[in-house]
Structure 1
Amino acid sequence: MAPPGLEPALEAEALALGFHPRRVEGGVELEGPPGLHQEANLRLRTASRVLLRLGSFRAHDVGALTRGLAALDLRRVWAGEGTPRLSVAAHGSRVPAAAVPAAAARAWGLSSVGRAGALDEEESEEGLTLLARLEGEGCTVSVDTSGGPLHRRGYRQEVGRAPLRETLAAGMLGLAGYDGVEPLVDPMCGSGTFLIEGAWLSMRRAPGLERTFAFERFPGFDAAAWEARRASAKAEALPAPRAALHGYDINAGALGTARRNARRAGLTLALERRDVKTLVPPVSGPGLVVANPPYGKRVGESGELPELYRALGATLRRSFGGWRVALLVPDEAGLIRALGLPEARSLPVRNGGLRCRVLLSRL
């Protein structure tokens, strides 16, 4: 699964890792040897979750749905203890979504099954979570192998006033073609998410090294094989970023948060308090400028936003000639015009439920 709008970035990332992805709505599909779901959880920066498909069958009515669920082999993911949680997604199905939990309980000999919300939002890490996706006369059942959503890298214990998920930050770097070698500058770095994600990419450091996953609780989980997989990923990581990374913010408190987050991520970042109006490139370029400017909906600056966006655009055009730009902005035509980015490519995404745009441009 991928955050909405980032399917192309996830597909490109999976290809670069040697997987064989097929892009679908909401993510990509992968096929491969046993353990592929572990590798995907460990290495994919843009994915929000990794689901392992357990089976597909016809479900033209509730009876067929119950029989199909009963025929699934859950032994590799569930030892029969506790109560599975079920998330249901129904699109044009002949079986109503509300009927699925009761059918699952009958199929699996349980008094009831737990209810899980949409997996792109659900935060729970405990217990087994299954997804039943019904479309037309078909039903596909998958298990969540990630547990907590994959934007939880393990390093960010503090966030700024308008937090940016790590998966969205990584996806934007991918959409911008960031290679981990060229300079990276964030003029409004907040809690440092873009810079830390860029640094880990530059170091070839797998994003899942510092967390646990739901598949570690599956029956038959081979802890030794998993530790060997993690050790291999650790050995590939470089000791320091190959790129120059610089962050700026006018808020001193935000810079303190970014420093502490970077320290927990094993990094030392070049951070400086600076007004965007006075910003100049800290190193010779070209490189990539990436930012998540304030939206106003959360940070209380809506009256000042057009002026701020005009100042940001003017600085970029004046001082960063030849650099590329990737900005995450609200889906508001006036603010996008205020930036004045030349021939900017605009891609729709969502950030925290808000309709946004990723603007990509070369200055």
Structure 2
Amino acid sequence: MNTDNLEIFLVAPPGLEPVLADEARAAGFPTPTVSPGGVTTRGNWSEVWRANLTLRGATRVLVRLGEFRAFHMAQLDKRARKFPWGDVLRPDEPVRVEAVCKRSKIYHHKGAAQRVERAISETLGAPISKDAALVIKVRIDDNLVTISLDSSGESLHKRGHKTATGKAPMRENLAALFLRAAGFDGETPVLDPMCGSGTFLIEAAEMSAGILPGRDRSFAFEKLASFDARAFQNLKGSDAPGLPENVRFFGSDRNAGAIANSRKNAESAGVAAVCQFTEASISDIERPDTEPGLIIVNPPYGARIGNKKLLFALYGTMGKVFLERFKGWRVAIITSDGGLAKATGLPFLPPGPPIDHGGTKVKLYQTAPLR
């Protein structure tokens, strides 16, 4: 196994693969290639660690370990026993196997997973556990068996410091990708007038300060044979974050509980000093005393929360407020309903592709700077 040139697959929310590829390219990962469901790059184990630690938009990081042909269970068993598991796994760390079979003579995915688990257990000695943090993913497609490893463990949207959430929360990695898709570069102010638990603003503040998204959590790769704790600590670094000098990230919500949650989460993330949260309805929001920036909002859209018929007035008010009070600001709205977007009266550019958000297909609607 060539561990200096591993194939690394960055799992992305479907529809946002090109945005994750842009992030990976900007972070120095070589030749990110977009495919359905994610982005492929290459590197050694240190690059696997770095992808988990630094990429805001990835859902998880998979590592392709190898592949072989198998046309029946006995062949799968024999070749799985010859696979160099000891190059990757430790004999003292529990592991589990998940299998998917498509267009292959081996069609029983549970049986295939059990064969590979038994091969690992009997050749390496590693215990098999359904609760294991380490997951080997086996894909059998057209009789080609591809062995991959989930290096992340828990989904990467779990940053490790959010303590409070509200209804229909926006996942952190999705928020980061929407911010990037909306052109946020870390330099401009951001306002979210329906901030919920503060996810957009906390992600924007961390992006602005260069704070690593994975700094407060653990990863499955820490249990691998290749893991070097000292080298990983060096990769994390010990520099204090470079927060902006003044408040740049503004959140409001009519719900007092949401504002309390936002403040708590910003404090936990270490960015409370540059975030300001105010209890206010859409009609009462005020323009911050800063240069123009980005308004980003994930309002209710019927399929998720609320009755759609009652939402048209809300969207109309929102658009009116933005047009009257936020000249020079750009607006980005996430919604599943083009009619609701139109009800704002905002001069939207053509919307982005459909994105899955909690089982609902949404699109990002953006404006140029308001005039």
Indicate whether the TM-score tops 0.5. Answer: yes
Distance 1:90 1:282, change over 3 A: farther
Task: Output one character per residue of 1:3-40: Cα deviation in whole Å (capped at 9) or x when no partner.
Answer: 22221111001111111112221111121233111011
Give unpaired runs (5+ residues) of structure 2: 1-10
CA distance in 2, matches of 1:345, 1:300: 23
How far the C-alpha of 1:109 sits from its partner, in A, is 4.9
User: Contact 1:345 / 1:361 at 8 angstroms: preserved in 2?
Assistant: no
Local SS of the residue matching 1:221: coil
Q: Any idea what SS the aligned residue of 2:367 has?
A: strand
Letter in 2 for 1:14: A
Distance 2:290 2:244 in 1: 20
- 1:265 alignment counterpart: 269
- Give distance in 2, aligned partners of 1:13 and 1:251: 33
Alignment of 1:19 with 2:29, yes or no, is yes
The answer to whether the Cα contact below 8 Å between 2:93 and 2:223 also exists between their aligned partners in 1 is no
Residues 1:33 and 2:40 aligned together = no
Partner of 1:196: 202
Residue 345 of structure 2 is matched in structure 1 by 340
Tell me the equivalent position of 2:6: none
> 2:66 corresponds to which letter in structure 1?
G
* Equivalences for residues 61-210 of structure 1 within 5 A: 61-81=72-92, 83-96=94-107, 97-109=109-121, 126-210=132-216
Count of residues in correspondence between the two structures: 351
Q: String of CA shifts for 1:146-204, please: whole Å, max 9, x gaps.
A: 11111111121110112111000001011112110011111111100000000000001
**Match for 1:201: what amino acid?**
M
The Cα shift of 1:84 comes to 2.3
1:229 aligns with 2:235: yes
CA-to-partner distance for each residue in 1:268-316, whole Å, 9 max, x for gaps?
2111122212334213443211111123445445442222122222222
SS at match of 2:177: helix
Q: Is the 8 A contact 2:85 2:120 kept in 1?
A: no
Q: Name the CA shift for 1:348/1:242 in 2 (closer, same or farther; >3 Å).
A: farther
Q: CA separation of 1:285/1:105 partners in 2, compared to 1, >3 Å: closer, same or farther?
A: same
User: 1:265-304 alignment to 2 at 5 Å?
Assistant: 265-268=269-272, 269-304=275-310
1:352 to 354, 358, 366: 358
The aligned counterpart of 2:4 is none
Match of 1:3? 13
Alpha-carbon distance between aligned partners in 1 of 2:365 and 2:105, rounded to the nearest angstrom: 40
Whole-Å Cα distance in 2 between the matches of residues 309 and 65 of structure 1? Answer: 57
Give the direction of change, closer, same or farther, for the CA distance of 1:87–1:102 in structure 2 (3 Å limit).
closer
Asked if the contact 2:253/2:280 (under 8 Å) is kept, the reply is yes
How big is the shift at 1:215? 1.1
Q: Contact conserved, 2:113 with 2:138, CA < 8 A, in 1? A: no
Contact 1:249/1:275 (CA < 8 Å) preserved in 2?
A: yes
2:259 corresponds in structure 1 to: 255
Q: Which of the numbers 50, 58, 68 marks the counterpart of 1:47? A: 58
Contact persistence 1:180–1:243 (CA under 8 A):
no
Q: How high is the TM-score relative to the length of structure 1? A: 0.88
252-261 or 314-323, larger mean C-alpha shift? 314-323
Range 306-315 or range 170-179, more displaced: 306-315
2:367 matched to which residue of 1?
Answer: 361
Conserved? CA contact 2:208–2:243, under 8 Å:
no
Q: Deviations over 1:73-94 (max 9, x none)?
A: 2214322346522222344444
Q: Matched residue of 1:304: which SS?
A: helix
Q: Separation in 2 of the partners of 1:43 and 1:314?
A: 38
Contact 1:181 1:243 in 2 (8 A): no
Percent identity over paired residues: 37
Does structure 2 retain, via aligned residues, the 8 Å contact 1:202–1:243?
Answer: no
What secondary structure sits across from 1:95 in the alignment? coil
**Contact 2:194–2:299 under 8 Å retained in 1:** yes
TM norm structure 2: 0.86
SS of structure 2 residue aligned to 1:350:
strand
SS in structure 1 opposite 2:85? Answer: coil
Between 302-311 and 251-260, the greater mean CA deviation after superposition: 302-311
What SS does the corresponding residue of 2:352 show, helix, strand or coil? strand
Q: 1:93 to 1:348 in 2, by over 3 A?
A: farther
For 1:242 and 1:94, how far apart are their aligned partners in 2? 62
Q: CA deviation at 1:102?
A: 3.1
Structure 1 residues 87-96 or 197-206, which shifts more? 87-96
User: 82-91 or 164-173, which moves further after superposition?
Assistant: 82-91
Provide the residue aligned with 1:120 in structure 2: none
Q: Which moved more, 1:30-39 or 1:217-226?
A: 217-226
**1:350/1:128 CA distance change after superposition, 3 Å:** same
CA contact (8 A) 2:90 2:225 kept: yes
- How far apart, in 1, do the equivalents of 2:153 and 2:27 lie? 22
* Residue 62 of structure 1, CA deviation: 3.4
SS in 2 for 1:347: coil
The aligned counterpart of 1:244 is 248
User: 1:311-326 residue pairs with structure 2 within 5 A?
Assistant: 311-326=317-332
